[in-house]
């Protein structure tokens, strides 16, 4: 069968020749710089055939390469095979980054094309600085010009996030935002990031798979009033009236550029240049004063209120009970000799979660990786390619749910039968790292990169490591990946965002051995106040996720007394939280898996 990617690359190169373009840069991005994209903006996936969430494609006259990180190396190698696109491994010695490659291969006077609705203003500036002498055209969307069957923009309805769940009134959020605007001297504020807009407006949608957001821009005035740029057909009259009562008008989604063009010399526009695309920024008149700073709402929504956290804790109990039922049914099927595949794991968890009150959908596509498939951090079973489970070895399950009262994300490693000493050792090393970070006490002002090593220390001591971050922020019935904070290895120039009480983060160290097995344990935790000493205020983590670890996958002798006590205490908390929600065989399964070591 002919690879369609080859034909698409040929069509793209024909368009490049017609426009005098030496190279095309295709990021994984939309006009809102989202992590997960509506199909309409999945040009990089369409052109390359690689469907991982992170990747950058560069197409030259005779060569094409796709840059992605270690989570996707194996997947990309498989999906790019025969396409004429070379895999370029990010952060691997002697492999240039994509801008470095372009710098080496483009010459003065060459033209680089990148669609202006897929590149942040800050990213464009970096491209222009790095490629001095190269003409960068953002008004030329060559992939879009050849994509004849491009999916339309999504038209899913937008609904209110009822106050019983939202907890903070829309008017209060806008009042806080305007206070921050006035402090920065702004008369207007442009917001293009979808989760910020959803949080500020107390609205939710489903334009992006697994993320309850909707396509929109928001322009807020510091004195009063705001305009939401969104497809009017998505809103019913009740929602429109509710927004109007809070001074928010509606304009067409595409009208954001013409509205920005109307701003004048007396206006001072606040925008986050890392979260606004260059095509939108280009509409701002030169005489408008720009104030470039992070969206204030990004920091606001990262800190959950006490009421929100109460809902999250309840959601964690119900999500945990659903997982117990799903895992118990999985074990029952295997014990009965039934054929069970990785796809069935997804189905089982979906059935149990969808029966819970307030459930809306998955928070991301379930990862169920058996044995060697678990070594692919972002593996996804498909009807065309998946494994059948057996009563031996390890199954890694990373899954999550969207509920009206919160967002969940959890990874567990299940022992389906006999395991090897290597598997148990690796699973225990990863758990030691999770426990080390979960038990941490740290001074107020500390950031995730300063704590990252606590989760890696046991792995480093064994001469191992993992290539992804240790933790990401999580939204409140919003995106499962949320900033501004995170727990990851320090990077040159990387932001050190202090962890604050109320911030939720995942804690998910891992260990991956290609062709053998993969381990990742993941809980969500919220930063809480711990104590105050003569040296200042100290913070800690409260674990939110409620689901037992499979002790059959562990080597308990490798745990020290403090680690054993943490695990026993955690399992006692899980049993107390979930027992009222379970009965009979499910309750028996819970009690067995939560028994002390």
Q: Say which residue, 74 or 467, is predicted with more confidence.
A: 467
Q: Where are the alpha helices (DSSP H) in 140-222?
A: 142-146, 163-166, 170-184, 194-201
Q: Where are the alpha helices (DSSP H) in 220-341?
A: 237-245, 256-261, 278-281, 296-302, 306-335
Q: Are 403 and 359 in contact (CB under 8 A)?
A: yes
Q: Report the alpha-carbon distance of residue 383 to residue 367 in Å, rounded.
A: 14
Quickly tell me which residue has 């993320």 as its tokens.
Answer: 211
Instruction: Please list, residue by residue across 147-169, b when 16 or more beta carbons sit within 10 angstroms of its beta carbon and e when fewer do.
Output: beeeeeebebebbbbeeebbbbe
Q: Report the alpha-carbon distance of residue 557 to residue 564 in Å, rounded.
A: 9
What 3-state class would DSSP assign to 495?
Answer: coil
Q: Please, is 483 exposed, middle or buried when counting C-beta atoms within 10 Å of its C-beta (0-12, 13-18, 19+)?
A: buried
What 3-state class would DSSP assign to 20?
Answer: coil
Over 60: is that where the pLDDT of 91 sits?
A: yes
User: Do the two domains 4-146 and 159-297 of this chain adopt the same fold?
Assistant: yes
Q: Which of 5, 58, 6 is nearest to 28 (CA)?
A: 58
Task: For residue range 201-236, list pLDDT tens digits in order.
Answer: 999 999 999 999 999 999 999 999 999 999 999 999
What confidence category does residue 94 fall into, taking pLDDT thresholds of 50, 70 and 90?
confident
Over 60: is that where the pLDDT of 250 sits?
A: yes
The reported pLDDT for the residue numbered 223 is 95
The reported pLDDT for the residue numbered 494 is 80
Over 70: is that where the pLDDT of 1 sits?
A: no
Q: Which helix (H) or strand (E) holds 525?
A: strand 523-533
Q: Across all residues in the chain, what is the average pLDDT?
A: 96
Q: Judge: domain 306-593, CATH 1.10.10.10.
A: no
The reported pLDDT for the residue numbered 3 is 82
Over 70: is that where the pLDDT of 414 sits?
A: yes
Cα three-residue angle 282-206-300, rounded to 5 degrees: 65
Q: Report the alpha-carbon distance of residue 118 to residue 368 in Å, rounded.
A: 31
The reported pLDDT for the residue numbered 495 is 81
Give me the sign of the Cα torsion angle 368, 374, 377, 378: negative
Task: For residue range 543-556, list pLDDT tens digits in order.
Answer: 999 999 999 999 99
Q: Report the alpha-carbon distance of residue 471 to residue 187 in Å, rounded.
A: 36
Fold of the CATH domain 4-146: Creatine Amidinohydrolase; Chain A, domain 1 (3.40.350)
What are the beta bridge partners of residue 190? 219
Q: What CATH number labels 159-297?
A: 3.40.350.10
Span 286-304, average pLDDT = 98
Quickly tell me which residue has 């898996």 as its tokens.
Answer: 593
Quickly tell me which residue has 């699973």 as its tokens.
Answer: 427
- Chain centroid, CA 354 distance in Å: 22
The reported pLDDT for the residue numbered 484 is 96
Span 12-27, average pLDDT = 97
* Bond before 574 cis per omega within 30 degrees: no
Q: Please, is 282 exposed, middle or buried when counting C-beta atoms within 10 Å of its C-beta (0-12, 13-18, 19+)?
A: middle
Over 80: is that where the pLDDT of 2 sits?
A: no
Q: Report the alpha-carbon distance of residue 175 to residue 573 in Å, rounded.
A: 39
Span 352-362, average pLDDT = 98
The reported pLDDT for the residue numbered 345 is 97
* Residues above pLDDT 70, as percent of the chain: 100
Quickly tell me which residue has 């389906």 as its tokens.
Answer: 416
* Residues above pLDDT 90, as percent of the chain: 93
Q: Report the alpha-carbon distance of residue 40 to residue 154 in Å, rounded.
A: 8
Which pTM does this prediction carry? 0.95
Q: Could you tell me the residue ranges of all domains in the chain?
A: 4-146, 159-297, 306-593
The reported pLDDT for the residue numbered 199 is 98
* Bond before 484 cis per omega within 30 degrees: yes
What confidence category does residue 53 fall into, taking pLDDT thresholds of 50, 70 and 90?
confident
Beta strands at 56-60 and 64-68: parallel, antiparallel or unpaired: antiparallel
Q: Say which residue, 76 or 473, is predicted with more confidence.
A: 473
Give me the sign of the Cα torsion angle 497, 499, 500, 505: positive
Neighbours of 259 (CB within 10 A): 17
Q: Report the alpha-carbon distance of residue 351 to residue 368 in Å, rounded.
A: 15
Task: For residue range 107-116, list pLDDT tens digits in order.
Answer: 999 999 999 9
Angle between helices 121-130 and 98-105 in degrees, nearest 10: 40
Q: Which helix (H) or strand (E) holds 529?
A: strand 523-533
Q: Are 268 and 188 in contact (CB under 8 A)?
A: yes
């Amino acid at each position: 069968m002919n690879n369609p990617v080859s034909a698409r690359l040929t069509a793209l190169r024909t368009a490049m020749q017609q426009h005098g373009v030496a190279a095309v840069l295709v990021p994984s991005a939309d006009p809102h710089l989202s992590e997960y994209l509506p199909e309409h903006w999945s040009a990089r996936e369409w052109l390359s055939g690689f469907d991982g969430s992170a990747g950058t494609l560069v197409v030259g006259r005779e060569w094409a390469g796709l840059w992605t990180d270690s989570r996707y190396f194996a997947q990309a190698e498989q999906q790019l095979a025969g396409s004429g696109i070379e895999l370029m491994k990010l952060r691997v010695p002697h492999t240039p980054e994509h801008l470095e490659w372009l710098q080496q291969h483009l010459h003065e006077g060459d033209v680089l094309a990148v669609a202006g609705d897929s590149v942040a203003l800050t990213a464009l500036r970096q491209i222009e600085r790095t490629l001095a002498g190269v003409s960068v055209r953002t008004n030329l969307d060559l992939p879009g010009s050849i994509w004849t069957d491009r999916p339309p923009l999504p038209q899913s309805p937008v609904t209110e996030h009822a106050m019983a769940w939202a907890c903070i009134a829309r008017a209060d959020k806008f009042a806080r935002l305007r206070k921050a605007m006035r402090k920065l001297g702004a008369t207007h504020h442009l917001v293009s990031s979808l989760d910020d807009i959803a949080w500020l407006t107390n609205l939710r949608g489903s334009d992006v798979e697994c993320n309850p957001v909707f396509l929109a821009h928001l322009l807020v005035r510091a004195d009063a009033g705001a305009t939401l740029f969104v497809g009017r057909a998505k809103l019913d009259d009740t929602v429109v009236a509710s927004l109007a009562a809070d001074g928010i008008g509606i304009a067409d989604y595409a009208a954001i550029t013409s509205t920005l063009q109307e701003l004048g010399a007396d206006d001072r526009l606040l925008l986050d240049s890392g979260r606004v695309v260059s095509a939108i920024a280009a509409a701002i008149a030169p005489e408008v004063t720009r104030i470039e700073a992070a969206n204030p709402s990004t920091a606001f929504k990262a800190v959950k209120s006490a009421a929100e956290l109460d809902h999250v804790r309840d959601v964690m109990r119900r999500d945990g009970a659903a997982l117990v039922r799903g895992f118990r049914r999985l074990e029952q099927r295997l014990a009965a000799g039934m054929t069970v595949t990785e796809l069935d794991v997804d189905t089982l968890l979906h059935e149990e979660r969808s029966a819970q009150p307030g459930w809306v959908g998955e928070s991301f596509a379930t990862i169920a990786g058996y044995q060697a498939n678990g070594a692919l951090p972002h593996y996804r079973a498909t009807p065309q390619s998946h494994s059948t489970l057996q009563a031996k070895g390890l199954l890694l399950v990373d899954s999550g749910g969207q509920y009206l009262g919160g967002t969940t994300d959890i990874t567990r490693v299940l022992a389906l039968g006999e395991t090897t000493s290597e598997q148990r050792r690796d699973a225990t090393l990863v758990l030691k790292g999770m426990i080390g970070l979960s038990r941490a006490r740290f001074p107020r002002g500390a950031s995730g990169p300063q704590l990252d090593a606590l989760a890696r220390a046991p792995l480093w001591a064994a001469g191992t490591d993992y290539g992804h971050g240790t933790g990401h922020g999580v939204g409140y019935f919003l995106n499962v990946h949320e900033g501004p904070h995170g727990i990851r290895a320090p990077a040159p120039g990387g932001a050190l965002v202090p962890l604050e009480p109320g911030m939720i983060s995942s804690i998910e160290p891992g260990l991956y051995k290609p062709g053998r097995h993969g381990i990742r344990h993941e809980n969500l935790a919220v930063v809480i106040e711990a104590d105050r000493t003569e040296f200042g205020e100290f913070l800690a983590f409260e674990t939110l996720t409620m689901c037992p670890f499979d002790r059959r996958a562990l080597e308990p002798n490798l745990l020290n007394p403090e680690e054993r006590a943490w695990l026993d205490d955690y399992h006692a908390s899980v049993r107390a939280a979930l027992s009222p929600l379970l009965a009979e065989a499910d309750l028996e399964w819970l009690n067995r898996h939560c028994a002390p070591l």
